[in-house]
């Protein structure tokens, strides 16, 4: 410790938050120190005082009490006080600053300042900081950012779509996988990826009101994304303040109806800017040349102003091919501008599809095929196309396959709806359970027949769906049209049949779907009164909260109810795959609606064969329809994508047959035969036609590989070690619960009052995907998890661990010699949407200097050195740092020069990476644009802009000293 003099500036080692102290009195060995920043005064005894003298070196900047800053050039001493001589940074004038006039609010948070002012951190904190830097750098440059962290099983077709669409700039696509194949999950993965990579920050999800909580929960549970639901009530809260409700949150879920039913809300939604708009159950966006639905108009307005747009529907053709086309137009109005042209183009893909099919097989491509490919190549001038053609019959199977995949990708890019539309089918995904079709014929009560006759009399010769569909719900006709006296369930044989079925399958849960809410309600009453069975009901008359409560009651495995009785709305979007028994209390006319119903159970996650129970009335419209659907288009045992088309083709004949309300085999048989033939024909066409391209596009070739890469990330123990160490250092308690689970809780000894994502009640976490998937209560901690990201930020943003002093016990080095380890960070401050992290994320640069200024970092690794180091107590550490201050100061200057050289290298590398990645993509899109109009100009323009802006920002990258460690050699 140096000699004391009045006016000297010191800092307390144990109370550094008091700020800079000034010696105000010296009485023999007693020293009085005033800390003006806090007004505190302390008495110390010289010799044992935990104090460190604050002194600066040439090259430092010091703030004066008046607020100006001096760049120190020289330090002199007079009467025990330092005088700093240099230049003022505000006016460039030469100036002197006496130690007593230094600003007492000065904060020492730079690593070297803290080292020299005795604020020395523990070695394990220093290590944690360096680890956090290295790991964050590794994470930010990883190609799977945003893809690996979802709490989902690794399903290749989903991963392919998510990677393909999620990595685009403002993706505009239609996700139309068959029911239950995971469109919501795919959309979630895309949103997650776009948010985590900075491509998006504002997202709006529009959906049928009945699905809003399911989405809310899926986004939170699977992706840790906290959406807010904006229904009319919530929006209304902002009316008085005239604030735009849609601008008050970043991630919003809203029922589509609030926009389609209110011009004001639509206007507000359009005024708020969106990076991504998602529309679920997009088949409701009905459009034809004659009539445009309000839902379509609302989305059309939004589609014009939002950047990315995801439309989700399992049944894109449900409202006809024109509507399908119209939805594609929402995605890209320039590409899909005219329906007739679109239809013509669709028909023209056969030749290309034939080639794609051949390439996707193991067959050798003969001379004819090669010729066709070459001529395609000439038309398209695709990069590397011809080179790939030469390798497609290569003896090395891997080479041949790679070449074939490359060509197929190029064909997909250049033809049809390839880049816009994704559709996976059960046939292509495989591995789904069987559907068991269990029809039961029941006698039609005479009362029902009378009711139907009455109805038909009121609608003579009317073969519209509106007139015919009620025949499929005779209980409705009976109750409403004929008799209010005897409740329908007292005469309906389906009730006893149902009770029997339930009795035979006591352990099973039953989802019962009927067309009408009134039927659902009465049915619930019937099973309760007649058989004492409790059932949840779910229909459009209930509030959303009531519906969710009903669904949750049904889902509860321990205390839940056995039956859920739904009206048709229960058949859309909901997840009931934990049940295996489905009862179709009536049959819907439209095959897509039928598929939606079955799809509640036939979904990813269904572990049993599905029992589809169909109680239909003999010799009625239901028998006719069931036979046509089952035998004609096979809509029960399998999904039937072509069913709707055939249904539309045979609509008149089928409705006429149904209108008789009788089963006339001679009349229906030819219809069934025709339907079968047409299905076969369409399937053949699909097989031969453009859909092979669509299928290959949707399934991709990289899904398996992505899944393997994510598995490798999951198995990387580095993350586990890092998080456990962070919990330890920050004072979060950990309790190993076995089965790969750890309970973590805040404690009273936390370093920071708020640990990222950890509430007062604590949580159970797992780093194991399988465990997290099988246990609802467990959080899945992955690299993407906000807790991990929050820890990176917390560690890097604070000063904790930014310096340390250690002893190196190494006899090969002379005692008393020392090393200085410096961790610099090279960083840019580009806007997040440019994704600077992909090219130059904050990059740690480690320099290890010996006393002569030689850099040993390449020879001595961080971990290797760390293993040899011993801790040293704070006081000794501070004495060592103070004693070596001028030398360390000098070495920091030398290290900075080296770090700047490294910065220049990193800038050059990152710019080369930008040119390679974005340049390739720009070249590819430019070439594609010449042959495929589905490349949107904005996609290309924004890539070009991104490239230029990145160049600018990367060149501005700066070097910052992030941490410093003094290592002193001792032989004791
Ligand atoms: N990768 C996955 N891991 C775990 N569960 C999944 C995965 N993909 C889908 N699921 C589950 O499978 C079910 C069906 O998925 P999802 O709801 O995304 O399908 P969908 O195609 O949107 O269905 P619909 O056509 O009925 O709207 C959901 O319960 C979902 O949570």
Q: What is the DSSP string of 893-912?
A: HHHHHHHHHHHHHHHHHHHH
DSSP conformational letter for 565: E
Residue 217, token pair as written in the block: 């929960």
Sheet containing 733-738, strands listed edge to edge, beginning at the edge strand earlier in sequence: 733-738, 741-745, 763-766, 778-780
Report CA(638)–ligand 1 centroid distance (Å). Answer: 18
pLDDT value, residue 808:
93
| pLDDT value, residue 690 | 47
Contact between 210 and 284 under an 8 Å Cβ cutoff? The reply is: no
Q: Which of 551, 537, 651 lies closest to 585 in space, CA to CA?
A: 537
Residue 605, ligand 1, Cβ within 6 A = yes
List the domains of the chain with CATH numbers.
9-110 (2.30.30.930), 156-347 (3.40.50.10810), 350-391+403-414 (no CATH), 434-689 (3.40.50.300), 716-782 (3.30.360.80), 803-969 (no CATH)
Higher confidence at residue 701 or residue 970? 970
pLDDT at residue number 51: 81
Compute the distance between CA of residue 88 and CA of residue 61 in angstroms, rounded to an integer: 9
What is the pLDDT, as a whole number, of residue 2?
A: 52
Please report where in the chains the tokens 């790969």 appear, as a residue: 740
User: Would strands 803-808 and 818-827 be described as parallel, antiparallel, or unpaired?
Assistant: unpaired
**Tens digits of per-residue pLDDT, 833-858?**
788 888 999 999 999 999 999 999 99
Among 2-11, 169-178, 776-785, 925-934, the minimum mean pLDDT is found in 925-934
Q: Whose CA is nearest to atom 23 of ligand 1?
A: 180
- Using a cut of 0.90, tell me whether the model's pTM lies above it: no
Ligand 1 midpoint to CA 182 (Å): 3
Q: Which of 798, 843, 821, 819 is nearest to 957 (CA)?
A: 843
Phi–psi pair at 515, nearest 5 degrees: -70, -35
Give the separation between CA 205 and CA 223, rounded to whole angstroms.
15
Provide the pairing of β-strand 276-279 with 203-207.
parallel
Which atom of ligand 1 is closest in space to residue 187's alpha carbon? 18
Within 492-538, strands assigned E span: 510-513, 535-538
The CA 573 to ligand 1 mean position distance, Å, reads 9
Nearest partner of 392 among 415, 411, 366, 418, judged by Cα: 366
d(CA 297, CA 291): 10
> What mean pLDDT comes out for the span 294-304?
94
The residue with greater pLDDT, 972 or 325, is: 325
- Mean pLDDT to the nearest integer, 758-769: 93
pLDDT at 335: 73
Predicted confidence (pLDDT) per residue in 371-419, tens digit: 777 777 656 555 566 667 777 788 888 888 888 888 877 777 766 666 7
Q: Which of 32-46, 191-205, 606-620 has the lowest mean pLDDT?
A: 32-46
| Pocket test residue of 147, 184, 217, 433 for ligand 1, highest count of atoms within 8 A of CB | 184
Q: What is the pLDDT of residue 377?
A: 63
Taking the C-alpha atoms of residue 645 and residue 651, their distance in angstroms, rounded to an integer, is 10
Q: With bands split at pLDDT 50, 70 and 90, how would you rate the model's confidence at 318?
A: low
- Nearest atom, ligand 1, residue 280 CA: 27
C-alpha 150 to ligand 1 mean position (Å): 13
> Cα–Cα distance between 843 and 847 in angstroms, integer?
13
* Angstrom distance (rounded) from CA 53 to CA 62: 15
Alpha carbon nearest to ligand 1 atom 28, residue: 575
Greatest C-alpha distance within the chain:
121
Residue 581 belongs to what H/E stretch? strand 581-584
Task: Flag whether pLDDT at 592 surpasses 70.
Answer: yes
| Structure-model confidence comparison of residues 306 and 332, the more confident one | 306
Q: What pLDDT does 972 receive?
A: 76
Distances 50 to 5, 16, 373, 399 between C-alpha atoms, Å: 16, 10, 82, 70
Classify residue 736 as exposed, middle or buried by CB count within 10 Å of its CB (0-12, 13-18, 19+): exposed
pLDDT given at position 1:
45
Mean pLDDT throughout 936-945? 80
CB neighbourhood size of 894 (10 A)? 17
List pLDDT tens digits, range 460-492.
Answer: 888 999 999 999 999 999 987 766 678 899 999
* Pocket flag, ligand 1, residue 181 (CB < 6 Å): yes
Residue 493: HSE in the Cβ half-sphere, 13 Å Cα cutoff: 14
pLDDT band at 818 (very low <50, low <70, confident <90, very high): very high
- Ligand 1 proximity of 573 Cβ (cutoff 6 Å): yes
Q: Is the CB of 423 under 6 A from ligand 1?
A: no
Q: Where are the alpha helices (DSSP H) in 460-567?
A: 465-468, 474-476, 493-504, 517-531, 544-555
Q: Name the residue at shortest CA distance from atom 29 of ligand 1.
A: 575
Give DSSP secondary structure letters for 851-893.
TT--B-TTTS-HHHHHHHEE---HHHHHHHHHHTHHHHHHHHH
Q: How many beta carbons lie within 10 A of that of residue 574, not counting itself?
A: 23
Averaged over 481-507, what is the pLDDT? 89
Report how far residue 561's alpha carbon sits from residue 511's, in angstroms, rounded to the nearest whole number: 11
User: b/e string for 443-476 if b means 16 or more Cβ within 10 A?
Assistant: ebbebbbbbbeebbeeeeeebeeebbbbbbbbbb
CA separation for the pair 284, 87 (Å, rounded): 71
**pLDDT above 70 for 307:** yes
SS3 state of residue 436: strand
**What's the gap in Å between 606 CA and the centre of ligand 1?**
10
Query: Percent of the chain having pLDDT more than 70?
Result: 95
Beta-bridge mates of residue 76: 83
Amino acid 557: pLDDT: 80
Has residue 934 got a pLDDT over 70?
no
Tell me what the mean pLDDT of segment 166-175 comes to.
87
Given a contact cutoff of 8 angstroms between Cβ atoms, the answer to whether 255 and 573 are in contact is no
**Does ipTM come in above 0.95?**
yes
**How high is the mean pLDDT of the chain?**
88
The pair of three-digit structure tokens given for residue 776, joined into one six-digit string: 């609802």
Residue 769 pLDDT exceeds 90: yes
DSSP element (H, E) containing 346: helix 339-347
Are 19 and 29 in contact by the 8 Å Cβ rule? The answer is: no
Strands, DSSP E only, in 763-817?
763-766, 778-780, 803-808
Structure tokens at 262: 């209110």
> 921-959 burial by CB neighbour count: b if 16+ within 10 A, else e?
bbebbebbeeebebbbeebbeebeebbebbeebbeebeb
Predicted pLDDT of residue 99: 92
- Who wins on pLDDT, 179 or 263? 263
- Ligand 1 binding pocket mutation candidate from 147, 182, 769 (most atoms within 8 A of CB): 182
Cβ neighbours of residue 133 under 8 Å, at least 6 residues apart? 796, 823, 825, 842, 844, 962
Dist. CA 237–CA 473, nearest whole Å: 42
E strand segments, 592-695:
610-617
Of 149, 574, 604, the one to substitute when testing ligand 1's pocket (max ligand atoms within 8 A of C-beta) is 604
CA distance 292 to 299: 11
Does 842 contact ligand 1 (Cβ within 6 A)? no
Nearest ligand 1 atom to alpha carbon 577: 29
CA distance 401 to 858: 41
Output the CA–CA distances (angstroms, integers) from residue 555 to 224, 306, 770, in the order listed: 22, 37, 21
Q: At what angle do helices 367-380 and 397-414 cross, to 10 degrees?
A: 50
Q: Looking at the predicted structure, is the pLDDT value of residue 547 above 90?
A: no
Is 502 in contact with 495 (CB distance < 8 Å)? no
Lookup: tokens for 64? 């004066």
By C-alpha distance, which of 958, 863, 899 is closest to 130?
863
Nearest CA-CA partner of 76 in 104, 50, 51, 57: 57
Q: Measuring CA to CA, which residue among 943, 950, 944 is closest to residue 911?
A: 950
Q: What number of H helices and E strands is found in the chain?
A: 37, 31
Question: Structure tokens of 453?
Answer: 């006759």
Q: Report the C-alpha gap between 301 and 306 in whole angstroms.
A: 9
CA gyration radius, the chain: 36
575 lines ligand 1 (CB under 6 A): yes
Average pLDDT over residues 243-259: 95
Residue 741, both tokens:
């689970």
What average pLDDT score do residues 316-322 get? 66
* C-alpha to C-alpha distance for 23 and 5, rounded to whole angstroms: 7
Phi and psi of 543, rounded to 5°?
-75, 165
CB 229 within 8 A of CB 216: yes
Least confident of 169-178, 657-666, 689-698, 891-900: 689-698
* DSSP of 20-63: -EEEEEEETTEEEEEETTTTEEEEEETTT--EEE----TT-EEE
Is pLDDT above 60 for 426? yes
């Amino acid at each position: 410790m140096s000699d004391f003099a009045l006016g000297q500036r010191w800092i307390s080692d144990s109370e550094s938050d008091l700020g800079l102290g000034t010696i105000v009195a010296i009485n023999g060995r007693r020293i009085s120190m005033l800390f003006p920043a806090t007004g505190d005064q302390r008495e110390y005894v010289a010799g044992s005082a935990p104090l460190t003298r604050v002194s600066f070196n040439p090259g430092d900047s010091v703030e004066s009490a008046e607020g100006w800053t001096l760049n120190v050039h020289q330090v002199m001493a007079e009467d025990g006080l330092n005088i700093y001589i240099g230049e003022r940074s505000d006016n460039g004038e030469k100036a002197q600053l006496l130690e007593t006039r230094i600003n007492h609010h000065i904060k020492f948070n730079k690593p070297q300042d803290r080292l020299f002012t005795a604020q020395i951190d523990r070695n394990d904190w220093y290590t944690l900081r360096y680890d956090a830097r290295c790991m964050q750098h590794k994470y930010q440059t990883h190609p799977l950012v945003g893809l690996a962290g979802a709490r989902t099983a690794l399903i290749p077709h989903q991963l392919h779509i998510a990677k393909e669409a999620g990595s685009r700039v403002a993706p505009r696509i239609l996700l139309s996988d068959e029911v239950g194949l995971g469109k919501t999950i795919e959309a979630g993965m895309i949103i997650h990826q776009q948010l985590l990579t900075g491509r998006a920050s504002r997202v709006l999800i529009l959906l049928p009101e009945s699905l809003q909580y399911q989405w809310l929960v899926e986004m939170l549970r699977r992706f840790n994304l906290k959406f807010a639901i904006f229904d009319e009530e919530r929006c209304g809260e902002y009316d008085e303040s005239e604030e735009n409700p849609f601008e008050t949150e970043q991630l919003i879920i809203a029922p589509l109806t609030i926009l389609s039913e209110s011009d004001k809300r639509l206007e507000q939604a359009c005024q708020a800017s969106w990076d991504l708009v998602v529309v679920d159950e997009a088949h409701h966006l009905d459009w034809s040349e004659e009539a445009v639905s309000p839902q379509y108009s609302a989305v059309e307005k939004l589609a014009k102003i939002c950047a990315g747009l995801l439309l989700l529907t399992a049944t894109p053709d449900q409202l006809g091919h024109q509507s399908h086309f119209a939805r594609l137009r929402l995605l890209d109005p320039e590409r899909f501008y005219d329906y007739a042209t679109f239809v013509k183009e669709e028909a023209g893909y056969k030749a290309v599809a034939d080639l794609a099919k051949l390439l996707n097989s193991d067959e050798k491509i003969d001379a004819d095929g090669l010729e066709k490919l070459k001529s395609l190549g000439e038309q398209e001038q695709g990069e590397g196309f011809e080179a790939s053609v030469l390798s497609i019959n290569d003896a090395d199977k891997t080479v041949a396959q790679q070449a074939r995949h490359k060509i197929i990708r190029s064909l997909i890019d250049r033809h049809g709806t390839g880049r816009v539309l994704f559709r996976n089918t059960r046939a292509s995904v495989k591995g789904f359970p069987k559907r068991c079709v269990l029809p039961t014929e029941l006698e039609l009560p005479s009362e029902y027949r009378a009711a139907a006759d009455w109805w038909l009399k009121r609608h003579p010769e009317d073969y519209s769906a509106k007139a015919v569909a009620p025949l499929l719900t005779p209980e409705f006709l009976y109750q409403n049209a004929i008799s209010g006296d005897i409740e329908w369930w007292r005469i309906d044989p389906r009730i006893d049949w149902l009770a029997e079925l339930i009795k035979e399958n006591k352990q099973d849960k039953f989802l019962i779907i009927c067309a009408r809410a009134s039927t659902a309600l009465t049915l619930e009453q019937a099973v309760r009164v007649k058989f004492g069975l409790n059932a949840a009901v779910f229909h459009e008359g209930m509030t959303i909260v009531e519906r969710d409560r009903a669904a949750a009651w049904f889902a509860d495995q321990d205390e839940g109810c056995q039956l859920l009785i739904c009206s048709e709305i229960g058949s859309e979007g909901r997840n009931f795959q934990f049940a295996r028994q489905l009862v179709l209390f009536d049959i819907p006319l439209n095959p897509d609606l039928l598929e939606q119903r079955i799809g509640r159970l036939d979904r990813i996650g269904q572990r049993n064969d599905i029992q589809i129970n169909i109680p239909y009335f003999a010799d009625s419209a239901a028998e006719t329809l069931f036979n046509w659907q089952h035998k004609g288009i096979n809509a029960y045992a399998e999904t039937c994508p072509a069913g709707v088309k055939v249904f539309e083709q045979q609509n008149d004949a089928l409705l006429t047959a149904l209108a008789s309300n009788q089963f006339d085999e001679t009349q229906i048989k030819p219809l069934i035969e025709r339907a079968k033939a047409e299905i076969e024909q369409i399937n053949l066409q699909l097989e031969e036609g453009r859909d092979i391209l669509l299928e290959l596009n949707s399934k991709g070739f990289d899904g398996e590989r992505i899944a393997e890469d994510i598995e490798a990330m999951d198995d990387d123990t580095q993350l586990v070690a890092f998080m456990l160490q962070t919990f330890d250092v920050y004072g979060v308690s950990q309790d190993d619960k076995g089965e790969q689970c750890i309970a973590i809780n805040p404690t009273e000894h936390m370093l920071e009052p708020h640990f990222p994502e950890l509430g007062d009640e604590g949580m159970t976490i797992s780093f194991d995907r399988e465990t997290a998937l099988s246990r609802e209560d467990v959080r899945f901690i992955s690299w993407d998890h906000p807790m991990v990201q929050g820890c990176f930020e917390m560690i890097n943003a604070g000063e904790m661990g930014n310096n340390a002093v250690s002893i190196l016990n190494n006899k090969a080095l002379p005692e008393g010699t020392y090393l200085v380890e410096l961790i610099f960070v090279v960083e840019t401050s580009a806007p997040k949407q440019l994704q600077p992290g992909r090219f130059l994320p904050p990059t740690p640069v480690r320099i290890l200097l010996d006393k002569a200024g030689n850099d040993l970092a390449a020879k001595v690794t961080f971990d290797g050195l760390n293993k040899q180091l011993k801790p040293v107590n704070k006081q000794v550490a501070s004495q060592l740092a103070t004693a070596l201050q001028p030398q360390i100061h000098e070495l920091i200057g030398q290290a900075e020069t080296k770090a700047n050289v490294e910065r220049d290298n990193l800038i050059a590398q990152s710019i080369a990476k930008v040119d390679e990645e974005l340049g390739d993509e720009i070249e590819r899109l430019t070439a594609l644009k010449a042959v495929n109009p589905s490349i949107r100009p904005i996609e290309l323009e924004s890539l070009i802009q991104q490239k230029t802006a990145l160049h600018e920002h990367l060149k501005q990258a700066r070097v910052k000293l992030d941490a410093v460690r003094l290592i002193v050699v001792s032989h004791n």
